Structure 1
Amino acid sequence: MNYQFTIIVPIYNEEDNLERLEKELSRYISNTQTATRILLVNDGSKDRSQVLIEAICQRNEAFHFLQFAENRGLSAAIKAGFDHVDTPLLGYMDSDLQTSPEDFDLLLEHIGAYDLVTGVRADRKDSFVKNMSSLIANKIRRTFTHDGMDDTGCPLKVIKTDYAKRIPMFKGLHRFLPAMILLQNGKIIQIPVRHFPRTAGQAKFGLWNRLFGPLVDCFAYLWMKKKYINYTIANKG
């Protein structure tokens, strides 16, 4: 099949979610008009996730996986996905299914005119502390990046692959993907998507890595913005 779109799904200790993840993603790729494949990135899980991932990939031709030798974090898992994708478009979502793969179609409607389309979670189904810490973190990030995005933590994005592969990832940079597209003079937009409560597994981010960690990362982004190399080839022979 001539695949056009790859969905990257980072996974860390999510054995309780993987059966439902397989069903939801299988339903999506059967119904969408965009030829889609799935790349499951196991970020060094210590539970039975890898056994289940391999079984899923054996059952489904469009499913593939990468397995890290050790836990390296969400940004590393996303970076590995970027490095191994060979379709013109790529997407990213979490394995906890607090967002629905069906909403990728909402984002894909806009990717022709933009280089990154990110979801913004409408009516979030998280705790008060989680919602408030994310709200504060997003305000801080917007102050530093001026990217205009309200919810860069939303784990539902579509990016043109050539732009994604030029992003110089570092730990924590998954929160700055729209800003990194802007550094390439790309166009970005946010689209409302649905949000659901987590029904299995445990959240991997707490107050520190949702609020204080991103504040430190903002200074790393400013350094990178100052040093970032961007160029356009006018001609070659």
Structure 2
Amino acid sequence: MYEFTIIVPVYNEEENLKRVEEELQEYLKIASKKTSILFVNDGSKDNSQNLIEEICARNDDFFYICFKENRGLSTAIKAGFDTIESPLVGYIDSDLQTDPKDFNLLLEHIGEYDLVTGVRADRKDKFVKNMSSKIANGIRRSFTRDGMDDTGCPLKVIKTPFAKKIPMFNGLHRFLPAMVLLQHGRVLQIPVKHFPRRAGTAKFGLWNRLGGPLMDCFAYLWMKKKYINYEIKCKG
């Protein structure tokens, strides 16, 4: 029924969810493909789950899964990949610092590419956050050589067969383009709009952007060395 599913990871975002509903409702009116929304509640401890259930009850194209406990962003994205059945999948953060309407920009190119990611061309974050992200992206790029300037941008579209073959582990959401390249896929980055956070609390601090990603780079190198990739030529 759906050509495209947008995964929305949620962790303690009750202050943002009404706006998430409104923005995604507006996007569905102009979406270039038949689209559904999948909330993945990552064990929120606030009122997020009740709000998600209310949103899904009044919107036919909205669905949800809910974790028993908080497991982190990479796990939430992986669970979304495992759950969806549409041929294309994307995700956007529930803080809405990116614009859902920009999905149409990414979808324009997904035919010839296997992953299209946004690049926050004019970031509206504070200086420390911007600089730590630039340093982390530089470190990651030197390890992966994926050519991506902003893998932390929470706006991506991936062909579902590639998404389902990504062996996710904590922190690997920053390496999605690199993992698609390991499958001999093609990746592209497109500039997208970026906005300041209007409500709620950021879930990543300085350590999450610098120390953690550096350790994840070594995990990626191990994954790259051990990664299994194959295509079936025929079967009888």
- The TM-score with structure 2 as length reference comes to 0.99
Q: Which whole-Å CA distance do the structure 2 matches of 1:140 and 1:33 have between them?
A: 35
Aligned to 2:189: 190
The aligned amino acid for 2:201 is Q
The aligned amino acid for 2:8 is V
Whether 1:170 and 2:174 are equivalent positions in the alignment is: no
The aligned amino acid for 1:63 is F
SS in structure 1 at match of 2:36: strand
Aligned to 2:23: 24
Aligned to 1:3: 2
- The TM-score with structure 1 as length reference comes to 0.99
Q: Which whole-Å CA distance do the structure 2 matches of 1:146 and 1:31 have between them?
A: 35
Whether 1:64 and 2:95 are equivalent positions in the alignment is: no
Whether 1:119 and 2:118 are equivalent positions in the alignment is: yes
Ranges in structure 2 where 5+ consecutive residues have no aligned partner: none
The aligned amino acid for 1:165 is K
SS in structure 2 at match of 1:163: helix
Displacement after TM superposition at 1:30 (Å): 1.5
Aligned to 1:134: 133
Q: Which whole-Å CA distance do the structure 2 matches of 1:193 and 1:133 have between them?
A: 20
Q: Which whole-Å CA distance do the structure 2 matches of 1:39 and 1:167 have between them?
A: 19
Ranges in structure 1 where 5+ consecutive residues have no aligned partner: none
Deviations for 1:93-141, whole angstroms, at most 9, x for unmatched residues? Answer: 1000000100000000000000000000011000000000000000000
Aligned to 1:219: 218
Following TM superposition, the consecutive aligned residue runs of length 4 or more in structure 1 with deviations greater than 2 angstroms are: none
Q: Summarize the alignment of residues 8-157 of structure 1 with structure 2, pairs less than 5 Å apart.
A: 8-157=7-156
Displacement after TM superposition at 1:33 (Å): 2.5
Displacement after TM superposition at 1:56 (Å): 0.1
Displacement after TM superposition at 1:157 (Å): 0.1
Identity %: 74
Number of residue-to-residue matches in the alignment: 236
Q: Which whole-Å CA distance do the structure 2 matches of 1:69 and 1:84 have between them?
A: 16
SS in structure 1 at match of 2:210: helix
Q: Which whole-Å CA distance do the structure 2 matches of 1:124 and 1:47 have between them?
A: 28
Deviations for 1:46-72, whole angstroms, at most 9, x for unmatched residues? Answer: 000000000000000000000000000
Q: Which whole-Å CA distance do the structure 2 matches of 1:33 and 1:236 have between them?
A: 36
